[in-house]
Amino acid sequence: MKQAFQKYIPFAPLKMEQRKWPNQQITQAPVWCSVDLRDGNQALVDPMNVQEKLELFHTLVDTGVKEIEVGFPSASETEYEFLRALIDGGHIPEDVTIQVLVQARPHLIQKTFEAIDGAKHVIFHFYNSTSTLQRKVVFKTDMDGVIKIAVDAAKLIYELSQPAIAKGMDLRYEYSPESFMGTEMDNAVEICAQVLDALHATEDKKVVLNLPTTVENCLPNYFADEIEYFVSKLPGRERAVISLHPHNDRGTGVATAELGLLAGAERIEATLFGNGERTGNVDMVTLALNMYTQGIDPKLDFSDMNKIREVYERVTKMKVGPRQPYAGELVFTAFSGSHQDAINKGTQYMEQTNSPYWEIPYLPIDPADLGRQYEPIVRINSQSGKGGAAFVMHTNFGFDLPKAMQPEFGYIVQKETERIGTELKPERIYQLFKEEYLDAQTPYQLIRHSFMESTGEDLSNPHVVFKGTLRHKDTVFEVEGEGNGPIDAFFNAIHGQKMDRFTFVDYKEHAVTKGSDSMAVAYIQLRDAKGKTIFGVGMSHNINLAPLKGILSAINRSVSSK
C-alpha cells in the first residue's frame, strides 16, 4: 500500500468563517423515516420476499416509526406487489405514512403513481445525482443539465399528483440530490430551491429535502458545515423539512447524523442495525438510543430488542454483530476484572441509594430498558477478577460472599479458567464453590448436636449450651461447652481438642432463598496457628447450625490443604 494512497483525492471542505452548530445541542428526536425496506433491502444478498417485507414493516410500525420507505415500485415486480399487498391488505395504520422512491425519469414516475393508488398517506420521493464526480463520470452533463432533470421531474410529479390529491390522498413530496455530500454547496442550494418552486412548496405544504451522504467521504464536522451552509442559504427554508440520509462508508454514519442534526436537520432516514448499501445506512437503533441515554425521548420503542433483532436477522439473513451498539450479544457483558468490580459497586450503590438515575460504570444504558435484564452482565474468563465470581454467586445463586473472602474464591475460579482456557458458566462456578466449601466435610464431621438457650430478663445475657458428637476419621468423640451464642459455645466445646489451634476472626450469615424453605448460609473466617486466614461455608435450615458447619468447613479445608 506504500504509494497507492496518492491516487486518492482528499475531500475539499467548505471554507466557513464561523459556524453555529458546535454550540447546539440535540434536545428532541428527529422525524424518523425507515429505509429498511428499500435501501436496506437493495443491499441484501437475497432481497426480502413479500411476506418477509410485511413482517419487517409491522416490526417497524410496532417500534413507532411513522414514515417508512416501502420500496421502489417501478423497479421490480416484487416491489410493486409488496406495495399493493400493503395497501390492498389494509396493513398501513392511519398514523403511518408510506414513502416510495423513484428516479427522476418520466416513465418510472408514471408507474409509481399507479402503484400508490388507494394509499392514504404517501411521501413521493424522487432523486437524481448531483455531485461533481457523478456529473463528470456517469451523466456527462453540467449542473444545468442536472437541474433540468430534477425540475422537469418535479413538475411532472406535481401535475400527476393533483388527481390523487383531489381524490383525498395526503400526498407529500421528497427530493434527494443524490451524492449531496460531494456536490458544490451553491449548486445543491440552487437545485433544491428550483425543485421547491416547481413543487409549489409553502410553509404549510413543506417538501422534504433529503440530503444524503450517498457515499460517506468526509469527516462528520465537514458534513455539518455543509448542512449549516445549505440551510442558511436556501431561499424560503421554512418551505422545507431538512432530512439526512447518511451512509456509513467511513464508519461515522452516526456521528454524521448527530452533527447534521446540530447543524439544522430535523429528519433522519435510517435502518435497523445499519443495514444498507456497502457499509450500510446509519443505524436507527444506535442513533435513537444515543439520544435516550442523554435523557431524550427518542420516540421509538426498543424495549424488546431481542425480538426486533430476531425478526431482522431472520428476514434479512444478516447478522447483528456481538459488539453492535446496544443490540449485540456481548455489549452488556464485562469480562475484565476491574469493569466487573465497578459494575458490582455501581449495582450496590443503586440498591443502597435508591437513585432515580442510572449510575453504573461501564453500562451506559440499563439492559432492562431493552428487555435484556436476564442476560449475564458479568461473565467469567481468565481476564476476570476476584469480584466477578462473587457477583455471579450473588446474582445467579443469592450468595453474598464477604468482601474478605472474595479474593480466595476468585483465585480458585481463576485457576479453573486458566486450566480449561475458556469461559466458566455460572453453574460451574457454583459447583466450584460447593466442592470447595460446602462439601469440605472431612476429616471433622458433626454427627449430632443440641443447643440449650436461655436469657435473663428482657432477653438480656443470652446463654447457650452446646453438646455435640463429632467424628474425626474413625474416632467419634463428645464435646460440650457454653457461651453467649452458638459460635462461642461451640468454640468453648472444642477447647482442648486438636481443632482449637484455630481462632475465630469473623462471620457473616444470610438467608439464601426466600419463603418457608429458606436456607441460612454462614461464611466463617478463621485463623490458624501460623496466622493464616481460612474461610469456610456452612448451610442449613437452622441458623444456629449453619455457622458450625461453616467452622468445620474452614477447619477441614485447612487440614486437607496441609
- Find out whether 479 and 470 touch, Cβ atoms under 8 Å: yes
Q: Which does 121 bind (CB under 5 to 8 A by kind): Zn ion, ligand KIV, none?
A: none
176 binds ligand KIV (CB under 6 A): yes
Q: Say which entry of Zn ion, ligand KIV, none residue 225 contacts (CB below 5 to 8 A, set by partner kind).
A: none
User: Which one of the spans 31-39, 250-258, 316-324, 394-402 is the region binding Zn ion (CB under 5 A)?
Assistant: 31-39
Residue closest to Zn ion (Cβ): 39
Residue whose CB is less far from Zn ion, 43 or 169: 43
Give the contact letters, 45-84, x = binds to ligand KIV (CB under 6 A), - = no: ----------------------------------------
- Cis peptide bond prior to 443, omega within 30° of 0: yes
3-state secondary structure 194-253: HHHHHCCCCCCCCEEEEEEECCCCCCHHHHHHHHHHHHHHCCCHHHEEEEEEEECCCCCH
Q: Which is nearer to Zn ion, 39 or 52 (CB)?
A: 39
C-alpha cell belonging to residue 56: 419487517
| Rg (the chain; Cα; Å) | 34
C-alpha pair distances (Å), 555 with each of 127, 499, 523: 80, 7, 13
Q: Which does 36 bind (CB under 5 to 8 A by kind): Zn ion, ligand KIV, none?
A: none
How far is the C-alpha of 349 from the C-alpha of 358, rounded, in Å?
10
Pick from ligand KIV, Zn ion, none: which does 174 bind, CB < 5 to 8 A by kind? none
- Binding status of residue 135 toward ligand KIV by CB under 6 A: no
User: Which residues, numbered 38-67, are part of the site for Zn ion (CB under 5 A)?
Assistant: 39
The partner in contact with residue 178, picked from ligand KIV, Zn ion, none with C-beta cut-offs of 5 to 8 angstroms by kind, is ligand KIV
Pairing mode of beta strands 31-34, 67-71: parallel
Report 202-261 residues binding ligand KIV (CB under 6 A): 210, 212, 214, 245, 247
How many residues touch ligand KIV under the rule CB under 6 A: the total is: 9
- Residue 452 dihedral angles phi and psi, to the nearest 5°: -120, 120
d(CA 442, CA 453): 28
To the nearest whole angstrom, how small is the minimum distance from the Cβ of residue 247 to Zn ion?
Answer: 6
> Dihedral (C-alpha) 63, 65, 69, 70: value to the nearest 10 degrees?
40
Toward ligand KIV, which CB reaches closer, 245 or 267? 245
x/- string (CB under 6 A) for ligand KIV, residues 27-46? ------------x-------
Pairing of strands 475-483, 503-511: unpaired
Neighbours of 336 (CB within 10 A): 16
- Total residues binding Zn ion (CB under 5 A): 1
Q: Do 38 and 69 form a contact (C-beta atoms < 8 A)?
A: yes
Window of 37-45, 170-178, 357-365, 536-544 that interacts with Zn ion by CB under 5 A: 37-45
Cell for 131?
Answer: 455531485
Nearer of residues 36 and 341 to ligand KIV, judged by Cβ: 36
State which residue, 39 or 226, has the beta carbon closest to ligand KIV. 39
Supply the DSSP symbol for 421.
T
Do 507 and 484 contact (CB within 8 A), yes or no? Answer: no
Q: Shortest Cβ distance from residue 68 to Zn ion (Å)?
A: 15
The CB-of-178 to ligand KIV minimum distance in angstroms stands at: 4
Angle at 317 between CA 316 and CA 319, to 5 degrees: 105
Rounded to the nearest whole angstrom, what is the least distance from the CB of residue 147 to Zn ion in the complex? 21
CB of 201 to Zn ion, least distance (A): 23
Using CB distances below 5 to 8 A depending on partner kind, what does residue 176 bind out of Zn ion, ligand KIV, none?
A: ligand KIV
Element (H, E) at 193: helix 185-198
Told to check if 127 binds ligand KIV by CB under 6 A, we report: yes
Smaller CB distance to Zn ion: residue 269 or 341?
A: 269
Kindly state whether residue 174 participates in binding Zn ion, applying the rule CB under 5 A.
no
Report yes or no: 31 and 267 within 8 Å, Cβ to Cβ: yes
Q: Round to whole Å and give the CA distance between 198 and 208.
A: 13
The three cell numbers locating residue 54? 410485511
The region of 10-18, 36-44, 171-179, 373-381 touching Zn ion under the rule CB under 5 A is 36-44
Contact partner at residue 275 from Zn ion, ligand KIV, none, CB < 5 to 8 Å by partner kind: none
CB of 30 to Zn ion, least distance (A): 17
Q: Using CB under 6 A as the criterion, which residues of the chain lie in contact with ligand KIV when the complex forms? A: 39, 127, 176, 178, 210, 212, 214, 245, 247
Q: Using CB under 5 A as the criterion, which residues of the chain lie in contact with Zn ion when the complex forms? A: 39
